[in-house]
Structure 1
Amino acid sequence: MPPTKATNVDEYIAEQQNALARNPECANTHYNLGVGYLSKRMFREAEESLIKALDCSPKLVEAYVQLGGIAMQRGDLETCLRYNQMAVRERPFFAVPHANIGFVHMQRGEADQAIAAFKKAVAQDPKFVQAMANLGGVYYMKGMLDAAENWCKKALAVEPKFGPAYHNLAMVALERGDKATATANVEKARESGYDIPQKLIDDIAALP
């Protein structure tokens, strides 16, 4: 958020509303108001503010990304994809919408499209740990265990306590029948605060 005198979210929202009363065509202020609403999970109000931001400045790509996030929260993958594609068209070298596009494809089971999008995200931001861990997850979906392991380890080289990467490594080890490694990665995921699905724990326990 930009410099502000607000001490809490409600004050921040009021500050942006007052600024818009003085300058109703300011795209950044509409965007900031939308972000304030998002922090309170006021999704309808956030959506309205972000759309107004784009009405004032159609190239404000962060607004497209935020609108995609709202659509994702609603389970509307198609709208999420469309907004992030619009962001990419306006700013091709912005890593976040590429990663979001990858996530939509991953949720749909479209592995090859997901891999292509996540790789674009990592190319733009080589420290994008979520994109790297998701690449590990997609390669796991394709049964390419070595590639899955490689990308998860790349994520952990950047952020050693990134739980989703340990979760994926545990699944890779389970697939290989390596109970000790799977268990170790589950413990590391737990230490990072990541919530491991009970089914994975049970499947690992069932290994000889």
Structure 2
Amino acid sequence: MKIPKSAEKFIAEQISLINENPECANAHYNLGVTMMELGQYDQAIELFEEAIANSGRMFEGYVNLGYIYLKKRDLEMVAATNKKAVEIEPRYARGYANMGFAYLEMACPDEAIEALEKAIELNPEIVQAWSNLINAYLQKDEIDKAIETGKKLIEFAPEFSLGQNNLATAYYLNEEYDKAIEHLDIAMRQGFSVHPDFLKELQPYRER
């Protein structure tokens, strides 16, 4: 892709700094951010790794690596880089939430639950962490815990339609079909695109 003129000068400056001092962590980091913003992820990964190697502990470098690996759908590296980030900054709630999502996608519910619960402890307003926690409990077939988590989520975030959908799923698996329909209808009114198979499964219970 063509690099915007506004970025060309900055890139040249950072490359010059690296040429003068190959161990300049800040220049590698700054150039990595630019490459990431330009969508040149492989180059950005190399630059962030170099920045981390030269600085020893660079929280922001691991955060950005986690973002890139999420874009690349490399879930193992999403978990690994966010784990490094929270080791440096233990109060980084989003790092735990990202770890939890990665573990959930890899079907590792115990690890997902541990990470997501920590994320919620640090920042209860990360709605995606609550929603993913519902699904992690469902992976373990702990439906009661999934329902309780969903109820807590929609108490403070009733407009979060994915949460409504996931709570509906938990109620459905618990054979509480009226409640499943109630929350699914809320999700649809909010504009959520419900999976057609789920609608089909619930249709007989609407016709009673």
Q: Give the TM-score of the pair, scaled to structure 1.
A: 0.78
Question: Identity across aligned pairs (percent)?
Answer: 27
Is the counterpart of residue 150 in structure 1 residue 114 in structure 2? no
2:91 corresponds to: 93
Offset of residue 118 of structure 1: 0.8
- Aligned position for 2:69: 71
The CA deviation string for residues 138-174 of structure 1, in whole angstroms up to 9 with x for no partner, is 1122222232122223333343322221121110121
User: Given the superposition, is the C-alpha separation of residues 44 and 93 from structure 1 closer, same or farther in structure 2, using an over 3 Å criterion?
Assistant: same
Alignment of 1:44 with 2:38, yes or no, is no
Secondary structure (helix, strand or coil) at the match of 2:118 reads helix
Whether contact under 8 Å (1:140, 1:172) holds in the other structure is yes
Q: Which runs of 5+ in 2 are unaligned?
A: 19-23
Query: Which residue of 2 is the match for residue 4 of structure 1?
Result: none
Q: What is the rounded CA distance, in whole Å, between the counterparts of 2:57 and 2:96 in structure 1?
A: 16
Residue number in structure 2 paired with 1:17: 11
Q: For residues 40 and 18 of structure 1, do their structure 2 counterparts lie closer, same or farther at Cα, with a shift above 3 Å needed?
A: closer
Aligned-residue offset at 1:128? 1.8
CA RMSD of aligned residues (A): 2.8
Instruction: Please say if residues 25 and 52 of structure 2, whose CA atoms lie closer than 8 Å, have aligned partners that are also in contact.
Output: no
Whole-Å separation in 2 of the counterparts to 1:186 and 1:87:
36
Q: 1:57 to 1:179 in 2, by over 3 A?
A: same
The total of aligned residue pairs comes to 199
Using the size of structure 2 for normalisation, the TM-score is: 0.78
1:68 and 1:206, CA in 2 relative to 1: closer, same or farther beyond 3 A?
farther
- Residue 36 of structure 1 deviates from its aligned partner by 4.4
In structure 2, give the amino acid aligned to 1:124. Answer: L
Higher deviation after alignment, 15-24 or 101-110: 15-24
SS state at 2:153 partner: helix
Residue of structure 2 aligned with 1:172, choices 158, 170, 177: 170
How far did residue 119 of structure 1 move? 1.0
Q: Secondary structure at the match of 1:126?
A: coil
**C-alpha distance in 2 between matches for 1:48 and 1:36:** 13
Does the CA contact (< 8 Å) of 2:25 and 2:50 recur in 1? no
Larger displacement relative to structure 2 (146-155 or 32-41)? 32-41
> 1:30, 1:23 → 2: CA distance?
9
Distance 1:93 1:206, change over 3 A: same
Change (3 A) 1:195 1:31: farther
Contact kept? 1:101, 1:117, Cα under 8 Å: yes
Pair member with larger Rg: 2
Post-superposition offset of 1:94: 1.4
Give SS of 1:140's match.
helix
SS at match of 1:47: helix
Contact 1:105 1:111 in 2 (8 A): yes
SS at match of 2:199: helix
